[in-house]
Amino acid sequence: MASKSLREWQTDAWAAFDEIEHAHHAVGGTKPGRRFLTQQLNYAYTALLAAHFQGFARSLHTQTVNAVALGAHNATYRLLLQRSLTRRRALERHNAHPNSIAEDFARLGLDIWTLADQERSGNGERRRKLLALITWRNAITHDDIDGKLEKGALEPTTVSLGTCRSWRSALNVLATSLDKVAADQCQTLGLPRPW
């Protein structure tokens, strides 16, 4: 069983990523200009990965808050929880930087990255890939790639289709782990497992 957030990640987000992959194939060939076209597709792929992962993390937080709030003993208390736990979330103001995800889920008593690391080996490295993705996303959308490269802030130093596929694979595993850790926390709080 998975949350609606994870199911949407695995359907809607994956479909969007597949469209970029198909566009890559459509721009095939060896003519001059292909490299520029595929580079722009890779940048679009990077931004899309970051955008959909932010959407997933935000929705997972919404669903977890809702599960916690439904455990309140009356409607007034439920509303108080719902309001307090969702106002001024980091994921409303920032993209899915690991620190933003940690900040929002900490409201629910979760040290989410420690638990995610415990949930599956290799998640520490996947979180570093998420950070690399977000750093690249910011450089692309703020038109600051050269500036970031000069500062040595971009790792890897180029984005290829392989890079995007590696990020996508890491995000898939992280999404599954975050989904499980959030559900576990509901049980820890004495609530029914929500998904």
Q: Which residues of 78-116 are buried (b: 16+ CB within 10 A; e: fewer)?
A: beebbeebbeebbbeebbbbbebbbebbebbebebbebb
Q: Which is it for the CA torsion 160, 161, 165, 171, positive or negative?
A: positive
First vs last C-alpha separation in the chain: 5
Does 4 sit near another protein (CB under 8 A)?
A: yes
- Least separation in angstroms between CB 88 and another protein: 8
Query: Site map for another protein, 46-85, x if CB under 8 A?
Result: -------------x--xx-xxx--x----xx-xx--xx--
Residues 187 and 182: their CA atoms lie apart, in Å, by 9
Does 190 sit near another protein (CB under 8 A)?
A: no
Does 7 sit near another protein (CB under 8 A)?
A: no
- Least separation in angstroms between CB 115 and another protein: 20
Check: CB of residue 174 under 8 Å from CB of residue 127: yes
- Least separation in angstroms between CB 182 and another protein: 12
Footprint of another protein (CB under 8 A): 4-5, 59, 62-63, 65-67, 70, 75-76, 78-79, 82-83, 86-88, 92, 194-195
